[in-house]
Amino acid sequence: MGDETRGVLDELGFRFDPDDLYLQVITNVLDTAELLDLPRHLRLILAQPTNELIVHFPVLMDDGSYRLYKGYRVQHNDILGPYKGGIRYHAGVSLDHVKALAVLMTMKCALMRLPLGGGKGGVQVDPRALSPDELRRLTRRFISGIGTFIGPHVDVPAPDVGTNAQIMAWMADTYVNTGGDRFAGRAVVTGKPIEMGGAPGREQATGQGLVEVLRCLVPSFGVDLTEATYAVVGYGNVGSWVARLLDRDGATLRSVLDHTGAIGDEDGLDAWELARHVAATGGVAGFPGATAIDTDEFWRSDVDVMIPAALEQMITEREAGLIRAGIVAEGANAPTTPAGERVLADRGIAVLPAILCNAGGVTVSYHEWRQNLAAETTRLDDIDGWLRETMQAACERVLAVAKRHDCDLRTAAYADALDHLATVYAQRGIFP
């Protein structure tokens, strides 16, 4: 942590907790701002979200009882455009957690040059413990609680961990039926079913974006992606699509870890069959033909690329010491702790940063939002081509910044995003 970063955090009354996810993320941002010598007022603005909303709401359960749930929506920065970011349903959701993810969305949109800001939301709930009717009622109550704070030109949520296209459909319908514009109102969320205005390819977009980053960057580390081996943490939407798309490139999936356990096969796992197995059973455990392995054995997988695509903070100092892969490609947001990252750096393991690797989702979400506002539809081929070009352009900028500043790729990605934000702030000025 730089001296100027500490000064900003002191001025804002931050308490220094090395295990706090928000502090980790904002320290990365501020240290990079210090490297670029950005104005102090810009650092102060970016160090805290613009708005933080907490709602508590009752939900009728199937047995006739009521439960009280807590939900969040954090709006970090909108200098580039409406706030944009997912809503997750997970038992571990907290305010600082959501704040950190909102900052990452600001950085991600700036890095991809999208006219969108950064936001994030969530509800403290295990969605797997609810029936479909309970999940629908929870979703409608949550959106009715935050409805005056979101909108197609204000704040546009999207799917995240524990949410999907069906939940986005309920959100859009709730917004429209509680005062939102009946036609443009469906642009209030992205990641919807195609029949409701969703963009083709949105489901696989985050995984597809990561694959585009791998195609662009891994050759610079001496790895041929068509012959590469890899391991994946998490086999949900992101992890499973990364594996299925890499399978088409000829790469070999050797091991997978999720909440049900770890499996491996030196000759390769069938990514498509594994996706069907997980959809049917809820996890990778028990996949026919695979060998069950322990967690340490998974982290020691003899692979070229390790892809953490589950939750935050999974690669601690311990896991970083076990990894044998030469490249870690962050499919999840902030999957590596500061201590873990130092170990990876000391061991010469390259880290491809999350704000680049998982930006495919918001990139295609922007396309969906734009087509909804214009009452248009888009072909999958057009979206695929545009996503590919956008991801490749971002990769090239990050590589150029890394070379110019002689820094790692994470710092370079933040630097490119911050430079774009600083330019817009300089052009617009600070109101009034």
Catalytic residues, which ones?
Answer: 120
DSSP secondary-structure letter at 369?
H
Cα-Cα-Cα-Cα torsion 94, 314, 346, 360, nearest 10 degrees, comes to: -80
Q: What sign does the CA torsion over 350, 351, 357, 359 have?
A: negative
Strand pairing report for 327-329 and 350-352: parallel
Rounded to whole angstroms, how far apart are CA atoms 143 and 148? 9
Which amino acid would we find at residue 395? C
123 Cβ contact list (under 8 Å, min separation 6): 69, 70, 71, 72, 87, 88, 89, 93, 138, 142
| DSSP strands (E only) in 111-207 | 118-124, 155-159
User: Radius of gyration over alpha carbons of the chain, in Å?
Assistant: 21
- CA geometry: angle at 187 spanning 176 and 235, to 5°? 110
206 Cβ contact list (under 8 Å, min separation 6): 237, 238, 241, 331, 358, 360, 361
Cβ atoms of residues 266 and 254 within 8 Å: yes
Rounded to whole angstroms, how far apart are CA atoms 286 and 238? 21
Rounded to whole angstroms, how far apart are CA atoms 412 and 49? 23
Tokens of 279: 């959809």
Residue corresponding to tokens 């330019």: 423
Rounded to whole angstroms, how far apart are CA atoms 30 and 267? 44
